[in-house]
Amino acid sequence: MVEPILEVGRLVKHYPLTRGILFKKQVGAVKAVDGVDFTLHKGETLGIVGESGCGKSTVAKMLVNLERPTEGSIKYKGEDITKLSGKALKSVRRNIQMVFQDPYTSLNPRMTVGDIIGEPYDIHPEVAPKGDRRKKVQDLLDVVGLNPEYINRYPHQFSGGQRQRIGIARGLALRPEVIVADEPVSALDVSVQAQVINLLDRLQSEFELSYLFIAHDLSIVRHISDRVGVMYLGRIVEIGRDAEIYDHPTHPYTQALLSAVPVPDPEAREHRERIILAGDVPSPTNVPSGCRFRTRCWKAQERCALEVPELAVPAEFRLVSGPAAHDSACHFAEEKQVVPPEATR
Q: Answer whether residue 296 is part of any domain.
A: yes
pLDDT tens across 28-40, in order? 899 999 999 999 9
Residues 328, 182, single domain; the answer is no
Residue 341 pLDDT greater than 70, yes or no: no
| Mean pLDDT of all residues in 73-84 | 93
Higher pLDDT, residue 289 or 129: 289
Residue 306 pLDDT greater than 60, yes or no: yes
**3 state SS of 318:** coil
Residues 328, 221, single domain; the answer is no
Task: Give strand pairing partners of 210.
Answer: 178
How far is it, in rounded angstroms, from Cα 321 to Cα 333? 16
**3 state SS of 317:** helix
How would you list the strands of the sheet with 71-76, edge to edge? Answer: 25-41, 4-19, 71-76, 79-80
Contact 96, 176 (CB under 8 A): yes
Q: What is the pLDDT of residue 345?
A: 54
Residue 201 pLDDT greater than 90, yes or no: yes
Q: What is the pLDDT of residue 279?
A: 86
Instruction: Indicate the pLDDT class of residue 320, thresholds 50, 70 and 90.
Output: low
Residues 175, 40, single domain; the answer is yes
Amino acid in the structure at residue 168: I
What is Dmax (Cα atoms) for the chain? 68
**Structural domain for 133, as ranges:** 4-225
Higher pLDDT, residue 222 or 20: 222
How far is it, in rounded angstroms, from Cα 17 to Cα 15? 7
Q: What is the pLDDT of residue 344?
A: 52
Q: Answer whether residue 331 is part of any domain.
A: yes
Residues 211, 169, single domain; the answer is yes
Residues of the chain above pLDDT 70, percent: 95
Q: Answer whether residue 159 is part of any domain.
A: yes
Q: Answer whether residue 332 is part of any domain.
A: yes
Q: Answer whether residue 126 is part of any domain.
A: yes
Q: What is the pLDDT of residue 312?
A: 92
Lowest-pLDDT range of 70-79, 213-222, 288-297: 213-222
Residues 122, 160, single domain; the answer is yes
Residue 324 pLDDT greater than 80, yes or no: no
Instruction: Indicate the pLDDT class of residue 343, thresholds 50, 70 and 90.
Output: low
Contact 271, 340 (CB under 8 A): yes
Strand runs labelled E in the chain = 4-19, 25-41, 45-49, 71-76, 79-80, 96-99, 178-182, 210-214, 227-232, 235-241, 327-328
| Mean pLDDT of all residues in 194-210 | 94
Q: Answer whether residue 237 is part of any domain.
A: no
Residue 235 pLDDT greater than 60, yes or no: yes
Contact 99, 171 (CB under 8 A): yes
How far is it, in rounded angstroms, from Cα 274 to Cα 260? 7
Torsions phi, psi for 153 (to 5 deg): -85, 165
Residue 339 pLDDT greater than 90, yes or no: no
Q: What is the pLDDT of residue 221?
A: 92
| Mean pLDDT of all residues in 280-296 | 94
Q: What is the pLDDT of residue 269?
A: 67
The domain that contains 49 carries what CATH number? Answer: 3.40.50.300
* 235-241 vs 327-328, strand pairing mode: antiparallel
Higher pLDDT, residue 54 or 24: 54
Q: Dihedral through CA 158, CA 159, CA 162, CA 164, nearest 10?
A: 110
How many residues are given for the chain?
A: 345
Q: Answer whether residue 177 is part of any domain.
A: yes
Instruction: Indicate the pLDDT class of residue 266, thresholds 50, 70 and 90.
Output: confident
Residue 307 pLDDT greater than 90, yes or no: yes
Contact 13, 70 (CB under 8 A): yes
Residues 108, 183, single domain; the answer is yes
Q: In this structure, which long-range contacts are made by residues 333-336, counting pairs with CB atoms below 8 Å and at least 24 apart in sequence?
A: 333/250, 333/251, 334/250, 334/299, 335/248, 335/249, 335/250, 336/249, 336/250, 336/255
Q: What is the pLDDT of residue 319?
A: 64
Lowest-pLDDT range of 49-63, 273-287, 309-323: 309-323
